[in-house]
């Protein structure tokens, strides 16, 4: 078997060497950033440096950034901490769907784009301000959502707009002012940082009820001793995000090779603006489960839909919301490229997938 080819960057990115080095340096000593002695204050200084880096990544002020244990906690903080009726898009991450309380659901079209007219009608019929959550870029299809337009609609109805932007930094420009968001979720391990660190942008003047109670950490917005090493790693990853390569050309070449091998291939969301690193595709008769197992045995790691479940290959709720038939949704696999991906690895995928496809056709 050839050396492993990792093409599942939307699930988690390999940690970048500079991030790892910074974290090892922090882990070499005690780091309670709440302690008033010099050692503690040095840890505090590193946390605040990281906060400034994460803020700069999205055009925010450092004081607008709340560190969390990850995007899931950030999303839960929003949905449990804002006392408004909840409206979420049909393609949100499971951490949004699970944390929401009796939400209204915004439909999407066949390309995976949020239906803004439906959103406006829903808010008009609601007759009261709402908390609306629309992700910036979908983790399965890569489709980039019209968040700025959604924010204008929501604000005109007196509501708040939250966007889960975990997949976006380092892949597309992210600016909270240009997008008009009130709240935004970020994740370190989606940009080459460590797992266990996330952040929530909270617009100045907006107050949320804390999800975690205890100490006075994070300006009393989140109790619990800060994970200093992970936060520092997050800051370094944020600093490096601007250096991320544009992978659209490599992704397009991959899709061209796949299409040459199987002209009947469907690339989900291909007609909408997408992240340059993401492709979700399938062909009739080749189940995602079969493809994933075969590719894994050939040394290639990809996924089916979101890599956040128990491991079972189920039809993607995102694709079903786009109107894709269940049988077709069960055939979809996701390939996501990243900072260490090489053309040779993409060639390896195309060649290997073509072999699996031909075997299926011959069976």
Residue numbers annotated as active site:
308
User: Rg of the chain over CA atoms, in angstroms?
Assistant: 21
**Which is it for the CA torsion 311, 317, 319, 320, positive or negative?**
positive
Q: How far apart are CA 34 and CA 100, in angstroms?
A: 32
In this structure, are strands 198-202 and 183-187 parallel, antiparallel, or unpaired? antiparallel
Q: Are 151 and 133 in contact (CB under 8 A)?
A: no
Please enumerate in sequence order all residues whose Cβ is within 8 A of that of 220, keeping only pairs 6 or more positions apart, or say none: 210
148, 161 in Cβ contact below 8 A?
A: no
Residue 295's nearest CA partner among 257, 330, 259, 333 is 333
Q: Which of 257, 343, 350 is nearest to 298 (CA)?
A: 350
Buried b (16+ CB within 10 A) or exposed e, 281-311: bbbeebbbebbbebbeebebbbbbbbbeeee
Neighbouring residues of 125: CB distance < 8 A, sequence distance ≥ 6: none
How far is the C-alpha of 216 from the C-alpha of 193, rounded, in Å? 26
Within 8 A by CB and 6+ apart from 324, the residues are 268, 316, 332
């Amino acid at each position: 078997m050839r050396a492993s080819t990792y093409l599942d960057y939307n699930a988690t990115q390999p940690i970048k060497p500079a991030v790892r080095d910074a974290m090892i340096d922090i882990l070499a000593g005690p780091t309670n950033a709440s302690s008033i002695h010099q050692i503690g204050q040095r840890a505090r200084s590193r946390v605040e440096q990281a906060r400034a880096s994460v803020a700069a990544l999205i055009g925010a002020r450092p004081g607008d950034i709340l560190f969390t244990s990850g995007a899931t906690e950030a999303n839960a903080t929003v949905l449990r901490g804002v006392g408004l009726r909840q409206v979420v898009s049909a393609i949100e991450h499971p951490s949004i769907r699970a944390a929401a309380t009796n939400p209204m659901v915004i439909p999407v079209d066949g390309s995976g784009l949020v239906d803004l007219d439906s959103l406006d009608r829903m808010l008009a019929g609601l007759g009261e301000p709402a908390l609306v959550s629309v992700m910036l870029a979908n983790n399965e299809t890569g489709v980039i959502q019209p968040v700025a337009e959604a924010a204008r609609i929501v604000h005109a109805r007196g509501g708040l707009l939250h966007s889960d932007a975990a997949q976006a930094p380092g892949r597309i420009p992210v600016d909270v002012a240009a997008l008009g968001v009130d709240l935004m979720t970020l994740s370190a391990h989606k940009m080459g940082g460590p797992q266990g660190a996330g952040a929530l942008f909270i617009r100045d003047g907006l107050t949320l009820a804390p999800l975690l109670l205890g100490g006075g950490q994070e300006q009393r917005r989140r109790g619990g001793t800060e994970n200093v090493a992970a936060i520092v790693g997050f800051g370094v990853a944020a600093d490096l995000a601007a250096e991320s390569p544009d992978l659209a050309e490599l992704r397009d070449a991959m899709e061209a090779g796949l299409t040459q091998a199987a002209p009947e291939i469907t690339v989900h969301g291909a007609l909408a603006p997408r992240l340059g690193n993401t492709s979700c595709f399938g062909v009739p008769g080749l189940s995602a489960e079969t493809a994933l197992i075969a590719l894994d045995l050939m040394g290639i790691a990809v996924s089916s839909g979101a890599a956040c479940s128990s491991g079972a290959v189920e039809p993607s709720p995102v694709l079903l919301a786009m109107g894709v038939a269940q049988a077709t949704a069960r055939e979809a696999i996701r390939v996501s490229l990243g900072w260490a991906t090489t053309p040779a690895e993409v060639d390896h995928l195309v060649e290997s997938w073509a072999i699996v496809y031909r075997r299926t056709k011959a069976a």
